[in-house]
């Protein structure tokens, strides 16, 4: 057993609690008083103090009052920055020019279902067409669902016959949905609802039932909400209480499913003979089970193993004929496509279909007759088409260069949708006929041009890292910008889960039109350069993530893009590790930083609701090596008294279940109590948000505040409050 000791919180008298406040705050900011407590954990002979542990109990009225006081202070300063509302209005005006955005595109029984969000529209609505070119018909307007509540459609899964659709509905940035079934022809919701759920997974082939995610507990504020998840099957016209349990740790102890693993089971319409279950955490390597579809309806499904994590399959699988195709990093750091028998899978001796290339495989998609393999070097993508019958492969000729993705909404045809975008080029959608090899602007595409963007340019460079590794860096700025270090710069990074930070268009990059350098670091932890790049910023190697970010900051200064007085850094979610450790390791490099819904307290993350499922990525304090790695990642643990920290804005979503609000809050509290720089350290609390939200009004206001804070503190003239 590991040498673990429980948390030690010594009781404090009321008088002592009043006396324990943060170090004296700088008078110009007047921070709310923040007590400290004698809390600590001891792991493997080392004690880690945690004086702000009390902030984790957000249900406590004193903690809630502290958050409100911090929020009021922050809002009082952000509202004085003149450029904040200008930015928000600018983005809304640009958004109104944007063509409609489409998502959740599915083709079932001759009907195309899709979610459509108009330019300037706060949230999207659900529509369908009879045929690709049919007249558009409204299916569901979430604005009519609950009076006074902004409802968003989190998911929409149509039945195989196109008669019904399962809607996942939420509000306030919550990721859990209320599931409702709609009769498409009648335009009416069926009685009954399921809550809370991560959504429907798919339908039975007879369209009389659907598979969906459910949990053992229903209280979304419970710390156990993400444990013991399961897949259930609901039959239309029956009571939800009688829904069959398809797969779970409780129903299937023989499968060894851990409480933190999510078992999701469903049927692939293009391969209906089997039901397949994906038992997952955030670990990329797949763990799959399968059973004949005829097992559905039996008291207990007999599952067989399709693959285990040791088979090193990642990024999806596809079935065709007697074979299953998969991407693997086994013997291929940049991934290769392999296949094996469905009935007798043997991944150790799988046949190589497409060998490893110079760039990395990002995703698989399948139409009726073809597999589409998307590759990327981190910036530029391409697609290889593989003929499932002949075994021949060819590269798809693309009309534009940029980040590439492909959708196959109809599994019974070879019509696909290809999406191409870049940092300063709005995404363009093309309808692609894989049989005829023809491509034309999609029925879902509308072109748009933004004034001023012709004056922007992008640069893709590689930066020498601390250990000689070459780190990709993307830079957006005005043409002819002076390279004298005088420009404000916002440097963003992520570097986790093997997610490549590929180019994407957002109206928020219009901040570059204000003379600001916008830069995106591609540190280790992502997979811009394949599996080795990912594992180079993972658990014990995680320091490379923020060190790569620091190297990018140093490059921007060396080349004259910016200087320490004008540089701001930002990281979101897992990027909170990156930014909290970058500024605690090199506070001298940054004038300002934003930790946006960021993981800044890694040693405590696994004790949050979303924590257990993330231990395969970051580690657990129950293992000595991983515990040491978590300490290295923990921004709170590395705040030093008397250091001259940059201005800091911590941002939290009150309804956030991925990164609870106390993580960025504890980091802010620690820096408020320790910094000797005199620069502001604020906490923005978004009470109308979670980890993110579809609501544009909320999103634009939130990010305008973040950018305004950074530009205020980096000296941009348009963002200086009147004195």
Closest Cα partner for 164 from 138, 135, 203? 203
- Overall average pLDDT of the 77-85 stretch: 94
Domain ranges of the chain: 8-92+452-719, 312-447
597 phi-psi bin (left φ>0, alpha ψ -120 to 50, beta other) = left
Q: What is the pLDDT of residue 10?
A: 29
Token representation of residue 259: 């409480």
Closest Cα partner for 76 from 684, 527, 511? 684
pLDDT at 13 over 50: no
Q: What is the pLDDT of residue 16?
A: 30
Q: What is the pLDDT of residue 556?
A: 98
Alpha helices in 473-596 (DSSP H): 531-535, 543-558, 575-585
Contacts of 236 (CB under 8 A, 6+ apart): 164, 181, 190, 208, 209
pLDDT at 564 over 70: yes
CA-angle at 318, arms to 316 and 319, nearest 5°: 150
- Asked if 334 and 360 count as a contact pair (C-beta separation under 8 A), the reply is yes
Q: Kindly report the average pLDDT of the chain as a whole number.
A: 93
CATH architecture assignment, domain 312-447: 7 Propeller (2.130)
Distance CA 549, CA 489 (A): 14
Class of domain 8-92+452-719: alpha beta
Q: What is the pTM of this model?
A: 0.91
Q: What is the pLDDT of residue 172?
A: 85
Structure confidence at residue 495 as a pLDDT band (50, 70, 90): very high
pLDDT in tens, 620-668: 999 999 999 999 999 999 999 999 999 999 999 998 889 999 999 999 9
Q: What is the pLDDT of residue 17?
A: 28
Closest Cα partner for 586 from 631, 551, 636? 551
Distance CA 324, CA 288 (A): 12
Distance CA 55, CA 606 (A): 16
Structure confidence at residue 693 as a pLDDT band (50, 70, 90): confident
pLDDT in tens, 249-288: 999 999 999 999 999 999 999 999 999 999 999 999 999 9
pLDDT in tens, 370-404: 999 999 999 999 999 999 999 999 999 999 999 99
- Crossing angle for the helix pair 575-585 and 543-558, nearest 10 degrees? 60
Structure confidence at residue 695 as a pLDDT band (50, 70, 90): confident
Instruction: Please write down the HEC assignment for all residues of 407-467.
Output: ECCCCCCCEEEEEEEECCEEEEEEEEECCCCEEEECCCCCCCCCCCHHHEEEEEEEEECCC
Please give the share of the chain, as a percent, with pLDDT higher than 70. Answer: 96
pLDDT in tens, 309-347: 999 999 999 999 999 999 999 999 999 999 999 999 999
pLDDT at 186 over 90: yes
> Any idea which of 1-15, 144-158, 401-415, 683-697 has the lowest mean pLDDT?
1-15
pLDDT at 602 over 50: yes
Q: What is the pLDDT of residue 15?
A: 31
- Overall average pLDDT of the 586-606 stretch: 97
- Crossing angle for the helix pair 575-585 and 624-633, nearest 10 degrees? 70
pLDDT in tens, 191-245: 999 999 999 999 999 999 999 999 999 888 888 999 999 999 999 999 999 999 9
What is the maximum alpha-carbon separation in the chain?
80
Distance CA 151, CA 465 (A): 45
Token representation of residue 153: 């459609």
Q: What is the pLDDT of residue 189?
A: 97
pLDDT at 361 over 90: yes
Token representation of residue 382: 């391409």
pLDDT in tens, 94-152: 988 888 889 899 999 999 999 999 988 889 999 999 999 999 999 999 999 999 999 99
Measured between its terminal Cα atoms, the distance across the chain in Å is 60
Distance CA 595, CA 648 (A): 8
pLDDT at 71 over 90: yes
Contacts of 5 (CB under 8 A, 6+ apart): 41, 42, 43
């Amino acid at each position: 057993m590991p040498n673990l000791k429980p948390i030690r919180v010594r009781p404090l008298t009321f008088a002592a609690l009043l006396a324990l406040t943060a170090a004296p705050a700088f008078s110009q900011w007047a921070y709310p008083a923040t007590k400290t407590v004698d809390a600590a954990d001891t792991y493997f002979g080392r004690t880690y103090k945690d004086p702000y542990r009390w902030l984790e109990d957000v249900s406590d009225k004193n903690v809630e009052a502290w958050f409100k006081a911090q929020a009021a202070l922050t809002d009082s300063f952000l509202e004085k920055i003149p450029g904040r509302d200008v930015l928000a209005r600018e983005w809304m005006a640009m958004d109104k020019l944007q063509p409609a955005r489409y998502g959740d595109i599915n083709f079932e029984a001759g009907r195309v279902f899709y979610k459509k969000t108009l330019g300037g529209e706060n949230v999207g609505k659900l529509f369908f067409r009879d045929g690709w070119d049919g007249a558009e018909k409204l299916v569901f307007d979430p604005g009519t669902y609950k009076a006074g509540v902004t409802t968003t459609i989190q998911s929409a899964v149509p039945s195989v016959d196109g008669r019904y659709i399962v809607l996942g509905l939420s509000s306030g940035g919550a990721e859990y949905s209320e599931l409702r079934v709609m009769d498409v022809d009648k335009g009416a919701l069926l009685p009954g609802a399921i809550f809370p759920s991560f959504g429907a997974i798919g339908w039975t082939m007879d369209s009389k039932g659907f598979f969906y995610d459910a949990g053992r507990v229903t209280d979304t504020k419970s710390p156990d909400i993400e444990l013991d998840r399961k897949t259930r099957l609901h039959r239309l016209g029956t009571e939800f209480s009688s829904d069959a349990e398809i797969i779970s740790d409780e129903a299937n102890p023989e499968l060894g499913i851990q409480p933190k693993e999510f078992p999701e089971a469903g049927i692939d319409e293009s391969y209906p003979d089997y039901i397949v279950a994906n038992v997952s955490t955030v670990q990329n390597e797949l763990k799959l089970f399968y059973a004949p579809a005829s097992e559905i309806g039996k008291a207990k499904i007999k599952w067989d193993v399709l693959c285990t994590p040791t088979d090193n399959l990642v990024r999806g699988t596809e079935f065709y004929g007697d074979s299953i195709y998969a991407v693997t990093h086994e013997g291929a750091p940049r991934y290769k496509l392999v296949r094996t028998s469905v009935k007798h899978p043997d991944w150790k001796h799988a046949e190589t279909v497409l060998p490893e290339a110079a760039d990395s495989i990002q995703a698989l998609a399948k139409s009726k007759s073809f597999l589409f393999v998307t590759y990327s070097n981190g910036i530029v993508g391409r697609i290889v088409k593989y003929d499932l019958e002949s075994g021949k492969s060819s590269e798809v000729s693309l009309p534009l260069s940029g980040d590439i993705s492909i959708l196959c909404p109809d599994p019974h045809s070879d019509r696909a949708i290809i999406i191409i975008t870049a940092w300063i080029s709005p995404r363009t959608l093309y309808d692609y006929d894989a049989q005829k090899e023809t491509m034309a602007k999609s029925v879902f595409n509308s072109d748009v041009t933004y004034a001023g963007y012709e004056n922007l340019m992008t640069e893709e460079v590689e930066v020498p890292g601390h250990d000689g590794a070459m780190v990709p860096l993307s830079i957006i700025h005005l043409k002819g910008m002076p390279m004298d270090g005088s420009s404000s710069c916002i440097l963003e990074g992520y570097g986790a889960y093997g997610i490549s930070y590929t180019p994407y268009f957002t109206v928020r990059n219009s901040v570059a039109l204000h003379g600001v350098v916008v830069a995106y670091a591609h540190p280790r932890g992502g997979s811009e350069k394949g599996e080795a790049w990912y594992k180079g910023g993972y658990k014990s190697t995680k320091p490379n993530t923020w060190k790569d970010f620091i190297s990018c900051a140093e490059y921007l200064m060396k080349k004259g893009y910016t200087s320490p007085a004008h540089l701001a850094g930002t990281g979101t979610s897992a990027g909170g590790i990156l930014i909290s450790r970058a500024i605690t390791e090199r506070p001298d490099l940054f004038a300002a930083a934003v930790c946006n819904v960021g993981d800044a307290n890694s040693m405590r993350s696994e004790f949050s609701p979303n924590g257990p499922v993330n231990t395969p990525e970051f580690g657990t304090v129950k293992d000595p090596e991983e515990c040491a790695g978590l300490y290295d990642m923990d921004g709170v643990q590395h705040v030093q008294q008397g250091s001259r920290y940059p201005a800091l804005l911590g941002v939290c979503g009150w309804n956030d279940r991925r990164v609870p609000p106390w993580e960025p809050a504890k980091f802010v509290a620690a820096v408020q109590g320790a910094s000797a720089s005199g620069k502001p350290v604020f906490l923005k609390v978004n009470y109308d948000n979670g980890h993110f939200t579809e609501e544009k009004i909320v999103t634009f206001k939130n990010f305008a505040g973040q950018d305004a804070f950074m530009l205020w503190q980096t000296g941009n003239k348009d963002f200086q409050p009147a004195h």
